[in-house]
Amino acid sequence: MAPLPLRLLLAGEEGIVRAIGGGKELYARLAALGFVPGKKVRVVQNQMCGPLIVSLGAGRVALGRGVAQRILVEKVLG
């Protein structure tokens, strides 16, 4: 399955981070938050406008839609 932008996942869906687009600063900022290749994320809230709320392990992070567009994930089925 081809990776898709995180912003397209619906609330309750999970994905595995496969790549992060953008520059080194964005990559470093997201890596500091835990968005690294191979990490499982779960979308807690996505109302298709405004920020996404994403669960990473025990924590939650709010992401702007532009940033969420740059995080490519492989959707976890089932």
CA dihedral angle for residue 58, residue 59, residue 64, residue 69, rounded to 10 degrees: -30
pLDDT value of position 52 = 96
pTM of the model: 0.92
12-27 average pLDDT score = 95
Boundaries of domain holding 32: 4-76
* Number of structural domains in the chain: 1
CATH number of the domain to which 10 belongs? 2.30.30.90
d(CA 25, CA 44): 25
pLDDT tens column, 21-68: 989 999 999 999 999 999 999 999 999 889 999 999 889 999 999 999
Q: Which amino acid is present at 31?
A: A
